[in-house]
């Protein structure tokens, strides 16, 4: 039973698995996009999000904890500088996994792990929500809705009148021919 087991073993020893995760996280944070298998992608997503959260904290202890996982110092500097600033107002979910294809050699499902873009207003220091940018003015929305409902109502009435007249005409026509 897998009770309380949260990580995947991926058929590797613990040392090999740790080294693979460290390499993948370093590559992801450096290039901001990596293609790998689904299972590895889901594990790397967890570690990468944790590293960016450490970068947002920004203290010495967080930097030392990040250096345990990230292999290159310039990537660590990027996490604590550029990425921490980009995701300053984002409460989590810095990465996304997109399923892409099946590998030809062994039919393994592949995915792309990538860093999401910051919210549109994040550079101003104000968290911008998607709802605010996509919402239209309420006056336009309400007037457009009224027009469309009245238009539909008139077309329904017209079609019902036409249908009743056609039915009546077809009923009367056979009686005249008799």
Does the pLDDT value for residue 148 go beyond 80? no
Structural tokens at position 78: 């990027």
Q: What are the distances in angstroms from CA 61 to CA 2, 22, 65, 69, 82? A: 33, 19, 6, 13, 19
For the chain, the structural domain boundaries read: 14-130, 136-178
Least confident of 27-31, 86-90, 92-96, 132-136: 132-136
Half-sphere exposure of 157 (CA within 13 A, CB side): 6
What's the CA gap between 99 and 35, in Å, rounded? Answer: 9
CATH of domain 14-130: 3.90.1030.10
What's the CA gap between 161 and 167, in Å, rounded? Answer: 10
Q: What's the pLDDT score for residue 176?
A: 53
The model's pLDDT over 118-145, given as tens digits with 9 standing for 90+, comes to 655 554 444 444 444 444 545 544 444 5
Name the band, by pLDDT with cuts 50, 70 and 90, for residue 2: confident
Does the pLDDT value for residue 106 go beyond 90? yes
Q: What's the pLDDT score for residue 6?
A: 87
Name the band, by pLDDT with cuts 50, 70 and 90, for residue 104: very high
Average pLDDT taken over every residue of the chain: 80
- What average pLDDT score do residues 83-110 get? 96
């Amino acid at each position: 039973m897998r009770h309380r087991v949260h990580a995947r073993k991926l058929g590797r020893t613990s040392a090999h698995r740790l080294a693979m995760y460290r390499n993948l996280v370093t590559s992801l944070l450096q290039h901001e996009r990596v293609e790998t298998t689904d299972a590895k992608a889901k594990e790397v997503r967890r570690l990468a999000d944790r590293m960016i959260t450490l970068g947002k904290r920004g203290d010495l202890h967080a930097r030392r904890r990040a250096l345990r996982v990230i292999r290159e110092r310039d990537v660590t500097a990027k996490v604590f500088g550029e990425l921490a600033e980009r995701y300053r107002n984002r409460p989590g979910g810095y990465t996304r996994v997109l399923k892409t294809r099946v590998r030809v050699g062994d039919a393994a499902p592949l995915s792309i792990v990538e860093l999401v873009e910051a919210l549109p207003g994040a550079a101003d220091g104000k968290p911008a929500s998607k709802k605010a940018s996509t919402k239209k003015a309420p006056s336009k929305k309400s007037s457009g809705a009224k027009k469309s409902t009245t238009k539909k109502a008139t077309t329904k009435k017209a079609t019902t009148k036409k249908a009743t007249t056609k039915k009546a005409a077809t009923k009367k026509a056979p009686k005249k021919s008799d």
